[in-house]
Structure formats: structure tokens, C-alpha cells
Chain A
Amino acid sequence: VRFLRIKKSMKDKLEKIIEELFTLDPDLKDKESEIRPLVSRLLSLKPDIEVDRKFQDSLRESLTKPEIQETKSKNRQRGWVFRFISVGAVVFAVFLLTMTTVVEVPNSEDQFGIAGLPEDLLDGLVVKDQSPGESVLIESVFLNKPGFVAIYSTSEGTRQRVIGISEVLMEGEHIDVMVALEESTEEGMFYAVILFEKDGGDRQNPSVLNDPWSEEGGAVDEAGFVARTNQ
């Protein structure tokens, strides 16, 4: 009975996909005899993966037991704080080393990435909800390579168009990056902010801006904010 149910469910799914395809591209209807077995084959390739019960239960317990949840959450927060403190300490140490000629400075390229920062520091940006206006304030940006930030208007959770692009930002950390906008942000609207690791020449490249997470896009982080007064 279970087998028959699975078979029926697959058949229903197949019919639904076939119907969609013919609506999307009516030319495909002429090739139904080839399209139908092809989609059926794609459906049948779905691997039968089962979650390890022990793992599933243990993770659930960690997520829902208040005391474990708080500890893990605190640890995660501590991890970030520790990370920023570590970065600060490393930057300060490198600064001290470069200020003295007595101490031999080790080859920072061997131990650290760009600007003496640990290599595992990921690109990222932080932006908070802010009052509507003609510019956007990005609290901090970290880049391992030069890049820029683009602000997008959105509708129903989907990016619409670019309304502002920052200047080219060099590798390293940037605090309070101001981005001028072509149009003002509106009260209550959500805006997406994307960080790109791309050359300045790509700041107006439509294939980069329109499809940021594609291979050519070069997006490395995404965040968002709501424009609202009294922030």
C-alpha cells in the first residue's frame, strides 16, 4: 500500500510539473513523448535520505531545553565577541610591531591574511533599521578584497532595483559607511544590502548587480533593514 501511495504521489507530482512546463513553454507540448519520461527520470533520481534519529533528537533537545539553549547561545555570542577582541588584539599587535625597528617582524603573510587579520575572518556587513532618508548608514563592513555595497529596494521579500552604491571599499574593516541614494527610503519599507567583492568597474555592471549570487555576481554577504523613524 505504501509503495502504491508513493507511486501515486510521484505520478501526481509528474503531472503537475509537466503541466507547468507546458504553460511556461507551449513549444514543449509537441515534445511531450520525450519530456514526460525525462521529468519522470529526474523525479526518480531523488535520493532516499533519512535523518539519523539520534542526531535529530539530540539537536532538538539542545534547541528547546532552555538551559542548554542559553548556554549555546551565550557561547555563540562569546564566540563573536572573542573574535572581534582577537581581531582588535592582532591589529594592535601588528601596529606595535611595525612601530619598532628593534623587534624583528615575522612575515605576516605566513600567519595572517590581509592587513594582519586572521585568515578565517569572513567578509560581512552590519546594518540596522534606520530613519527614512536619502542615504543609508552601514555600521561596519569587513572585506578580504576590495569591494562595494549596493542597496536594493524590495517588494514581497524580493529584491527590485538598485537605489544606491557605495564608493569602492578597500580590503579591511570600515566603520560607518554612508551610501548616498538615488531615491529616498520610505517609512516601513524593507531594503536589502549586498556586499560585493568586486572591482570598482563592476559597480554599474548589470549582470553583477541583477544577479549578485551568481558566479559572476561576486556577492559575499547580504543583510537588510527597515526604514522607520525614531531609530
Chain B
Amino acid sequence: MARPEENIIIEDNIYVTRVKEGDKEAFGGLYDKYIEQIYRFVYYKVFNKEITEDIVSDVFFKALDRIHSFDQQKAGFSSWLYAIARNTVTDHFRTDRKNENIEDIFDIGVDDRTIEQSDASKALKEVEDYLRKLNATQREIVILRIWEDMSYKEIAAVTGGTEGSVKMNFSRLIKKIREDLKHMVGSGLPFMVLLHL
């Protein structure tokens, strides 16, 4: 019996084959399945509703345009779609900032990302502040492994690394946060309190 992850891949491949055979409505099945995940993935990177909607539209049109070149034997559809989303976010910020390292969107100033007042709720601000403290790789791991529950293999396919490097980065991230907090404990605050700062 196929595992749940395998079932997802089989189901995606059926949709992909149908789209390749000319059944355009079948793309709607893939869209329904991934729109929320891709939307969240993009939103966590840009923290702006309008920019997210622009990028997400672009991602799905690119996927539709390129689906005939997508090889089901080489990667899962979801990893392929996330990789398109990741590159589209980078391209979006690259256009005006050719000389900067825009691999890391968080290096771009808040004003440039025009975070909307309506979106900048206290909770979102807290999340954004927290993510800002991490480097680009660590941020991606938090988003994909902890929040989106993706497997290490899927994350590796999205980020272009290996499964081993993703696992290593994940345990390093946890160690780093723990060490940072321990460091702060030394300043007198209890560990559990620091977790909620």
C-alpha cells in the first residue's frame, strides 16, 4: 500500500498527465490543492497582500506555461511549484535591485516591501521580527519544515540543497536558538520567559 506522501505524488501526476494531454480544467485540481500553501509561502516572504497576490498569480501562470517541460520522474509537482514560487519572489525584488543580494528578501528594508498597516497586526509583526533574526536558510527551514510540514527531501528539492544539508541546517537552527536563549538566560531572565519575548 502506498504511503500518504506517495499517494499525493500519484494524484498530482494524474492531474499533470491530464493537463499535458490538453485537459485544461485538470489544472484547476492542482490549483485547488496548492493555492493556499503557495499563498502562505509567498506571504511569509513578502508580508504584503497585494504583492503576494501578484506573485502567486505569476507562479501559477508560469506553472501552467511550463507544465509540459515538467518531468514527473525527476521531482514532485509540489517541489517544482515551490521552486517556481521561490524564484518568482526573488525575481520580483531583483528587478529594481540588481546590485544587491536579494536571495534574502528580509535584507530589503521594510519600507521597500510596503507592509500594509492592515496586515501589520501585532502578531504578524512579532513573527516578522522573529524571522528577521534568522538567516535566509534558517528562515526557509522554519517556513517549510515547521510551518508547512514539508519533508526534508521536499525542502531539498525546493531550495536546491541535499536532504542531508537540510537536516543538518535544521538541527543547527534549533541548537542556535537554544544557545542564543541560554546566552540571554545568563543575563538573568528565565529560559521559559525568553521563549515568549
**Interface of A with B (CB < 8 Å)?**
13, 17, 20-21, 24-25, 28, 31, 34-35, 37-39, 41-43, 45-49, 51-52, 55-56, 59-60, 62-64, 66, 69, 72-73, 76, 113, 119-120, 122, 144, 154, 156-159, 190, 211-215, 222, 226
Contacts and interface: CB of A to CB of B under 8 A. Distances in A.
Interface of B: 24-25, 27-28, 31-32, 35-36, 39-40, 43-44, 49, 53, 56-57, 60-61, 64-65, 71, 74-75, 79, 87, 91, 94-95, 98, 101, 103-104, 123-124, 126-127, 130, 136-137, 142, 145-147, 149, 156-157, 159-163, 165, 167-168, 170-171, 174-175, 177-178, 181-182, 191-192, 195-196
A156 B157 CA distance: 9
Contacts of A46: 127, 146-147
Contact of B27 (A31, A38, A63): A63
A25 B173 CA distance: 12
Contacts of A59: 31, 35, 56-57, 60
B44 A42 contact: no
Contacts of B195: 37-38, 41
Given A63-B27, A76-B61, A13 B178 contact: no
Given A63-B61, A213-B159, A190 B104 contact: no
8 closest A-B pairs by beta carbon, nearest first, are A157-B75, A64-B28, A24-B171, A46-B147, A157-B74, A25-B171, A51-B39, A41-B195
B171 A45 contact: no
Given A24-B167, A45-B126, A63-B28, A214 B103 contact: yes
20 contacts: A17-B146, A25-B171, A35-B174, A37-B192, A38-B178, A39-B174, A42-B142, A46-B127, A47-B123, A47-B127, A48-B123, A51-B39, A59-B35, A60-B35, A73-B64, A122-B94, A157-B157, A213-B103, A213-B160, A215-B136
A215 B171 contact: no
